[in-house]
Amino acid sequence: MFDFQAVIRYTTTHFRHFIGNVYMRKRFSLGTVILLVVVSVIAGSMLNQLISGDTIYDQLHKFGDVLNYTEKYYVEDVDTGKLTEAAINGLLNQLDPHSVYIPVSELQKVTEDFQGSFEGIGIEYQVLADTLLVVAPITGGPSEALGIQGGDKIVRINDSSAVGITQEGVQKKLRGPKGSRVKVSIVRSGMRELLDFEITRDKIPIYTVDASFMIDGQTGYVSVNRFAAKTHDEFLAAVTKLSGEGMKRLVLDLRSNPGGYLEQAYKLVDEMMPRGRKIVFTKGRRPEFDDEYISSGAGKFKDVTLIILVNASSASASEIVAGAVQDWDRGLIIGETTFGKGLVQRQFDLKDGSAFRLTTARYYTPSGRLIQRPYDHDKAKYARAAFERQETEGENVSHSEERDSTRPTYKTMGGRIVYGGGGITPDYIVKSDHLTEYTVQLRSRNVFLQFADKYLDRHGAELKSRYGKSADKYADEFEVTGPMLAELQALGKTAGATFKQEDFDKDLRYIKAFTRAFIARSLWGNEGSSRVMLREDAQFRKALELFPETDRILSNLSSLK
What does the DSSP assignment read for 50-100?
HHHSS-HHHHHHHHHHHHHHHHHH-SS---HHHHHHHHHHHHHHTT-TT-E
pLDDT of residue 52: 44
Alpha helix locations (H) across 245-348? 262-270, 317-327
Alpha helix locations (H) across 260-335? 262-270, 317-327
pLDDT of residue 405: 76
Let me know: does 45 contact 53? Beta carbons within 8 Å.
no
CA 459/CA 189 separation, integer angstroms: 9
- Residue 207, H or E segment: none
Query: Using one digit for the tens of pLDDT, what is the confidence trace for 325-362?
Result: 999 999 999 999 999 999 999 999 999 999 999 999 99
Mean pLDDT of the chain: 88
Q: For residue 557, what pLDDT band results from cuts at 50, 70 and 90?
A: low
Count of C-beta atoms within a 10 Å radius of residue 124: 16
Q: For residue 433, what pLDDT band results from cuts at 50, 70 and 90?
A: confident
- Beta-strand pair 305-310/249-253: parallel
User: Which has more confidence, 346 or 109?
Assistant: 346
CA 504/CA 497 separation, integer angstroms: 12
CA 185/CA 193 separation, integer angstroms: 10
**CA nearest neighbour of 456 among 136, 127, 151:** 151
pLDDT of residue 29: 55
Let me know: does 115 contact 108? Beta carbons within 8 Å.
no
Whether the predicted pLDDT of 104 surpasses 50: yes
Catalytic site residue 248?
no
Catalytic site residue 327?
yes
The one catalytic residue among 153, 230, 341, 512:
341
Count of C-beta atoms within a 10 Å radius of residue 42: 10
pLDDT of residue 5: 43
Listed in order, strand segments (DSSP E) in 338-479 are: 343-349, 355-364, 394-395, 409-411, 417-419, 428-429
The one catalytic residue among 270, 327, 329, 507:
327
Query: Using one digit for the tens of pLDDT, what is the confidence trace for 494-534?
Result: 999 999 999 999 999 999 999 999 999 999 999 999 999 99
- Beta-strand pair 355-364/278-283: antiparallel
Catalytic site residue 507?
no
Listed in order, strand segments (DSSP E) in 226-351 are: 249-253, 278-283, 291-294, 305-310, 332-335, 343-349
Query: Using one digit for the tens of pLDDT, what is the confidence trace for 354-411?
Result: 999 999 999 999 999 999 999 988 888 898 889 888 899 999 999 988 887 788 999 9
The one catalytic residue among 99, 316, 318, 522:
316
DSSP string, 135-159: EEEPTTSHHHHHT--TT-EEEEETT
